[in-house]
Structure 1
């Protein structure tokens, strides 16, 4: 078995199609199919099966893919042990994040890394290998974040407190923040005079919220359940900036993250905490274990922790 064959099998399990594996590994789909076919010849049990137009892993395929992930991680550990991998601080680190995290963290991250470079001058060797980052935004439902680690070194992800934990058998988790979703109001809204709000206070107003399956919609469903009143959702918009702009008109109220969607970036909007239900979401960095063996990736992960700490005041 070749390492790249195991890697392709692993990616097929994560991404769900030969085409996606080919794009991620910068090869042709026929090359992926050929290598998986060669791998199949070396084992007796079927590794893949057809599911519509896609090729998915069988139970045996998943077992072999998991074993392959262990091999890849072990190889990264071996490279780190001899120093060729672990001490490489330069290069490029790929980072993706959901929209509000990108708006709040991407620019400060770039500035933070630039300051590390600029602070060394020509003689400073300690930070001579500060990496560059390539940034992307990905607006996905919670259960789709772990699969993004196949395409990016670091993935900024969020989940509500009550939702299932990340699959730590497949990804490593670096906590960044524990962020409440607050009620967003126009500054002249009648409820803006209150210091905090309960579900009974807000449930009868018209709302802007996200599409189903995303954090604000989940919290708003709980508001309706606690107040035993149907919620009047007027707009369903995933982009927090657009939602805040609608809130500023006074026609609707909404839910915005306290740290990553600051009212300072939304003129005419103020936030109030919502009591009586859990509104907190966890913001984490997800990564494959082998990627965290790279000093450059760890440096960027630590920079993200510092940037988030500054944002939250912790």
Structure 2
């Protein structure tokens, strides 16, 4: 049984004629008759009968119309609960991010949430996953801060709603004592023979290094260390002659700023998209949209 068919039956009980029901529901009399006929096909007993020129309810029809009241009331309560939930401001919103975004933005996000007593409570978690796994995190978290290389396949928008955040350049990272540290930028030809630290195989920055840098430099690069966490990579680079790729805005904690230099690579445009991923029903919630605005403001600042 369809709810709108039950509503039509209830209106016939209360208004007494198909014409009156049509006027009340802003339908044609034939449309009302079609709805009643559809309800009748789903019911094994007659619901209406013709008395002269007037269509009236049978005893079974009256019972069904009375029962429809409970269905319609339950639906109204459900719709009201959904509306209240979508507008709720003080609920908990969970956010997850890859390590460098969490380091850069989580403290400010938690501080922002704490300054709004009537706003959403924010709970955060870091996740270190491969590119294709980021959309899957939206099943367990309200907001997913995800990244993918420039030029890569876009996120599957049939599965998640995408809010673009920033486009972040990727630079060469060297120690303050490295031979290139005093340069404002470098060219790929100057990187021959360097020892590299790279992300794990299959993670977002790893293809940038293996494919883009190797192809542009004209020779395979020597990857000795595999480190996903940028603070660990920065610590290695700071004290050795190892070089690597680090994001310009989120990849270098303040405690390494005096020990590591970031250099743009002149003949290679390398970077990544950082986006917010949510399920489509999740982003309908007022509290989630509020936290998305906070993250967007923090990141672009």
Deviation at 1:82, TM superposition (A): 7.0
Structure 1 residue 250: Cα displacement: 2.8
Aligned to 1:293: 284
Distance 2:293 2:266 in 1: 33
User: Do the aligned partners of 1:180 and 1:280 also contact (CA within 8 Å) in 2?
Assistant: yes
Cα distance in 1, alignment partners of residues 292 and 207 from structure 2:
29
Query: For residue 274 of structure 1, what is the aligned residue in structure 2?
Result: 265
TM-score (norm 2): 0.70
Confirm or deny: 8 A CA contact 1:198 1:274 kept in the other structure.
yes
Distance, in Å, in 1 between the alignment partners of 2:140 and 2:132 is: 16
Number of the residue aligned with 2:44: none
- Aligned pairs for 1:68-79 within 5 A: 79=79
Task: Tell me the SS of whatever aligns to 1:139.
Answer: coil
- 1:176-255 alignment runs, 5 A limit: 176-221=165-210, 222-255=212-245
Which residue matches 1:115? 115
| Aligned-pair CA distance for 1:263 | 5.4
For residue 171 of structure 1, report the CA deviation from its aligned partner: 0.5
Q: Deviations over 1:273-308 (max 9, x none)?
A: 112223110000000010011101111111000110
Question: How many residue pairs get matched?
Answer: 223
Unaligned runs of 5+ in 1: 1-74, 118-127
Tell me the TM-score normalised to structure 1 length. 0.68
Q: Distance in 2 between matches of 1:206 and 1:145?
A: 30
- After TM superposition, where is structure 1 displaced by more than 6 Å over at least 4 residues in a row? none
Measured at CA, do residues 93 and 80 of structure 1 come closer, stay the same or move farther in structure 2, by a change above 3 Å?
Answer: farther
Q: 1:136 aligns with which of 121, 125, 132?
A: 125
Q: Provide structure 2 residue ranges, at least 5 long, that are not aligned to the other structure.
A: 1-74
Verify the 8 A CA contact 2:200 2:206 in the aligned structure 1. Answer: yes
Asked whether the 8 Å contact 1:263–1:270 carries over to 2, the reply is no
RMSD: 1.9
Which residue number corresponds to residue 99 of structure 2? 99
- What is the CA-CA distance between 1:140 and the residue it aligns to? 0.6
* 3-state SS of paired residue (1:290): coil
